[in-house]
Structures are given as structure tokens and as C-alpha cells.
A and B are shown apart, each in its own frame.
Chain A
Amino acid sequence: MAAVRVEAVLAAAEEQEAEKRRSITVEKELELEYDLGNLLAVDRNPPPAAALRGAGPRREALLQALARDNTQLLVSRLWELPAERAGGAGGPLVAQLPEPTFRLPREKPPPKARPPTRWEQFARLKGIRRKKKTSLVWDEQAKEWRRRWGYRRAGGDPSRAWLAEVPAGADPEEDQFARLRREKRERVARNELNRLRNLARAHRAGRAVPAAPLHPTGHQDRDELRQVARVARVSTASLGRFQPRLPKESAEPPSRSGGKKRRFEPLLGNLAAERSRQLELLRDMGSKKPVLDITRAVNKQLRQEEAEAAAANKGKKQSKRGKRGRRQQRPGRSGKKSGARRQPQQQKPAGGGTGG
């Protein structure tokens, strides 16, 4: 008897629950797709086309019923999100929305990292780091803390400087004030020029550069002019072999047959040389020990020592900068300046011809 009553009670409770839930349940053929981050729901069920064809209030009522069902489903989902009371116990109920999943196109392309300026490249190579300067400097004359530069700076207003010392080797007739003013103007102009150059380099780095015009435009830089000069030299009948060279150009013209990799020996030439070369290649491939390229090993070692010295100097503050610096040093390694510095005496390292 008791068991039957318990079952009846449970069944009744379930009935009640179902009643309550009926008001918020919606029957749909296909489940909706939800993107809660965007408060978006997509219903794939085909709407009743025939019923919606006739214009008038019936259509509106149908559309509203459809909208009500879909909104009910979306709101049920939103209400199931983890929610908390913002601002204490009495505050409004706030739900945490997930990230939006629907992919929408961006407004602008993602920002590209700015390529480093000439100074930044040099500093990275040398391991020079920024010295954090204090914003205020003690001014002895005014006996107070003044700005480093700007309004009421520490050294007094430079435009009101009434004394300009004549330096040791200077012409006594020269106007020192005029010289100072001229030098400042030159400095400002040079800085502005460098800033614009860095900007142009950054601008060019992202985009494809159109081919440089072959006549001088006055807006070309060194690399472009070098390219143009090379093209001009090679466009003679003998492909530039008998052209006189400019005073500072390299003496050795680029070999006609190409560099190291584009050189092809004649097919039926020196059989002994060919044989010895093939045997050398097989020997290097078969040997267990790796072939040592002395140039590269020496360069690598020197680079590593330099990086270590820089790291040791700066100590703990290395963290991000150092990693980036060491990673970025690789383009510096193949640069002209560093490559030229480390030229070892040996021209043909042992086994370098085959191993490379």
C-alpha cells in the first residue's frame, strides 16, 4: 500500500513539473544553432511558405508566433549560462557570455609589426639597452628639481643663453651664436630626415615595391641606385665586362657564369677532377663525423660570445628584450658589416666545397 502511494506521489510530482515546463518548452523539428556570444540563433527549419504568402494580419501573427518560439529557445539557453549577482546580493543578475563563434570579417587588416629602425638594429646587434632616465633633474643654479627638457628646463632656457665659449681650435672671428643656431638647425633636419627614412622603410617593408625607374628621380635611396647602376652596366653588348668601374665600386665584377651555385663545368672535361670530386662527395656522405665548415663555425662562436657578453652585462633585465634580440640577431649575422669583420684567413675550408 505504502509503495503504491509513493509511486502515485512521484508520478503526480512529475506531472506538475511537466506542467510547469510546458509553458517554456518549444517543439522544433531541427535544433537551432546558437552563438551566445553574439546573442544569435539560427533556425534551419523551413518556415510555412504557404501560410505566409497571404498578406495581412494573419501573416504578422504567424511571424510573431515563430519569433516567440525562437526567442523562447534563445532565452532559455541564455538563462542557462553561469550567472551571478553583480554588485552584491541585491544587484542585477548578470550572465557571463562566451566568446562569439560566428566569424565576421575584420574592419581593418591586422596590424603588422613595425620593422626596426637602423638604430634599433644596431643596438640589438651590440646589445645596447635603453637607460631609463629620470624625468626630473637637479638644477644647481635654481636649487630645485626641474624637467630634463621642455618648459623651465634644468639648464635654463637655451634661447636666452648669453654666453657662448669659443672652442679651442675655432676661428676667433666666427660668430658662436650663429654657429650654435646653425648646428641646431642641422641636427633637427638630420633627425627629421632619418625619421622619414625609417618611416619609408617601414612603409616599404609591408608592400611589394614597384621596380625602380631607371632614370634618377632624386627620391631613390642607395640600394635602388646600386641596382640601377648594375642594370645600366650589364646592358651593354658585352654584358658589362669591359665597362670602366666607378672609384668605390668593387673591383671584381660578378662572374658571368653565376655565383657558386650556378657554375656548371663542361660535360666532357677533366675526368680525373670529376672522379676525385665524386669520391670526395661519397666519402663525406658516408662518414659518421659531420663536415666542419670553419667559417660558419667561427662566426657562430663569435656571435655567441658577443650575445653572452651582452647578456652578462645587462643582468636580470634581459627577459623579453634579450630573447627578441638574440632571435633577431640572425639577419644581422649575414649583414655586410658583421660578415666583413669576421673574414677568416682561410679561403677554402677543408671539405667546404662539397659540404658547403
Chain B
Amino acid sequence: LIYCYRKPKTKRAKRFLEKREPKLNENTKNAMLIKGGNANLTVTKVLKDIYAVKKPFAVLYKRKNITRPFEDQTSLEFFSKKSDCSLFLFGSHNKKRPNNLIIGRMFDYHVLDMIELGVEKFVSLKDIKNSKCPEGTKPMLIFAGDVFDVNEEYRRLKSLLIDFFRGPTVPSIRLAGLEYVLHFTAVDGKIYMRSYKVLLKKSGCKIPRIELEEMGPSLDLVMRRTHLASDDLYKLSLKQPKGLKPKKKKNISHDVFGTTYGRIHMQKQDLSKLQTRKMKGLKKRPAEKSAEDGGATPKKSKSA
């Protein structure tokens, strides 16, 4: 609302703009699923399945859009601005790059990273006749393979996939509702994405035994071109504002055993006026006192 040259005239318009402006704690990222000018059946089915997984934080565009993301990013940025989506998945198909998927994300409505993946094998939700999990379940994400840490492009791909499939950030989760898991294995230059439904079986102890049932879309992907953001732009996008860091409580420390120690700062004490314990035995008795003073002494006030 800060840079609003036209002030909103209704409360609804104001809420709409407030939802889209930059915030300290951001909204869940929305994804837009776009078909290219020559998308074939496979690619369309992939987009539809991913939409089903990512509902309600996704928009699936029905019409074909004739653009080439790697050459010209303006149309993607325009869509992102209009629908307030920062993640996108663009599907196309041609002879040189069959069954092409471009997965990417935006920063400030400009393209940050884009990775082109080729779909070699695809099994859709409909083809696997199993019971599915409810829509909008937060999936568990597992990445297997050392390539995801060694190779820079695979590292960005991992970050992109986490961003894409993560879903809303929640403070607590129902343990029985952990039903969906997405497993990514990187082997031999290929990335296998498999989705399973999780069945919790009784085991002897508190933690249940896991059995998996193949459920959702399964994709065999191969990495093609990439358009990664430069290091400083990436660092800029990672920067979190200071307000998000939890405030550190001062004067509290912990030791190895888990005991919490605190420090209290006292003001300076006048030691001459300190009230120590009364030692009655050391009090001067009246007989001794009169012997010392040598005479009748009047009643004196008690001294400290």
C-alpha cells in the first residue's frame, strides 16, 4: 500500500492489496502451471497431477501460451504479477526437447531460478488404482543421493523442489495425518520422483512401523538447461529481515547438564548497614557493660 498511486476505494480492494504487498512473515508461495504452445498429452497430464498435489496453492492455466521462458521472461513475469504466484511450472514439447518441464521461482516478480527437466517416464494418479490421501496434505520430503549436495545445479534443484512442494509452514502437526511422502532419488544423471501413501502399522513400541503404498504421480526426470540466479541476487533473496529473528533473552545461560543459569544485577550495597544474623550469645550483658563504663548508664538504644 506504500507505493499505491491509486488509493483503494473499498475495504475489499484494500485487503486485496495488503495481501500482495511485501511482509515480514510471507504468505505461502503459490504456483502457476502453464502450458506452452505445443504441449502434448503427457505434459498436460503432469501439470494436472501436480496441480492436484499442490491445491489450493496453485493455479492451472487452461489455455496454451506461446512463449519461450528461456528466451523471454516478460510474459512469465506478467503472469506472476497478475496472479501473485512466485513459483511456476511450464510444460512444452518439441522434437528437440520432448516432454519438457521448466520449473522455476520468482523474486520480486522477476525470474530468480529456472531449471528445465525432461520427463522420461510418467505414471499418473489415475493410472495407479489405490486410495489417495486428502487434498492439501503437507507432504514429507526426502532427498536421497549425494549428488544433491555435491553438484551446484542439483543443490539449486533441491532448493527449488523443497520450495515448490513444501506447502504452508505450520507450528504443529497431527501425527496421524502424516500420510504423504515425496521421495526424490538422484542416480546416474536421472532424478526419480516417487510419491507414496504412508501406512502406520503397530510396532511393539510407541513409534509405529512404516509401510508405503505407491500412490501419486511418479516421474523420471533428467536435467536439461538451467538458468540460475547469480550469487549476489540469490544471497539478496535469502536475506531475512531483522524482525524475524527471535529476541535473545539476556542474562540467561545454560550449562552442559541442562541447568539454566540467570544473572541478577544488584545495586551497590552499603556494607556498614548490612543486617547480619543476631548472635545473642555475643551480646554484651548489662553486668559486663556497667563494669566497663563504671557507673549507671542510661538506657541506650540497641546498636546494630
Contacts and interface: CB of A to CB of B under 8 A. Distances in A.
Nearest to B198: A71
A23 B162 contact: no
B24 A111 contact: yes
Nearest to A80: B207
A39 B142 CA distance: 8
Interface in B107-165: 107-109, 112, 138-146, 148-149, 158-159, 162-163
Contacts, number: 201
Interface stretch (A97-105, A141-149, A239-247, A334-342): A97-105
A80 to B, nearest CB: 8
A345 to B, nearest CB: 45
B138 A64 contact: no
B201 to A, nearest CB: 8
Contacts of A105: 105, 107, 112, 159, 163, 234, 237-238
A233 to B, nearest CB: 35
Nearest to A60: B214
Contacts of A102: 159, 162
B54 to A, nearest CB: 15
Interface residues on B, range: 35 or more
Contact of B214 (A64, A78, A93, A94): A64
Contacts of B5: 196, 199
Interface in A158-203: 196, 199, 202-203
Contacts of A37: 169
Interface residues of A, number: 58
A216 interface: no
Given A64-B214, A66-B185, A105-B105, 12 more contacts: A23-B209, A40-B143, A47-B185, A70-B142, A92-B175, A95-B174, A105-B107, A105-B163, A107-B27, A107-B107, A108-B21, A108-B22
23 contacts: A24-B205, A40-B140, A52-B188, A66-B185, A67-B194, A71-B140, A74-B181, A75-B210, A79-B207, A86-B172, A93-B175, A94-B174, A97-B171, A102-B162, A106-B238, A107-B27, A107-B86, A108-B21, A108-B22, A108-B107, A109-B107, A111-B2, A202-B3
Interface in B228-252: 234, 236-241
Contacts of B45: none
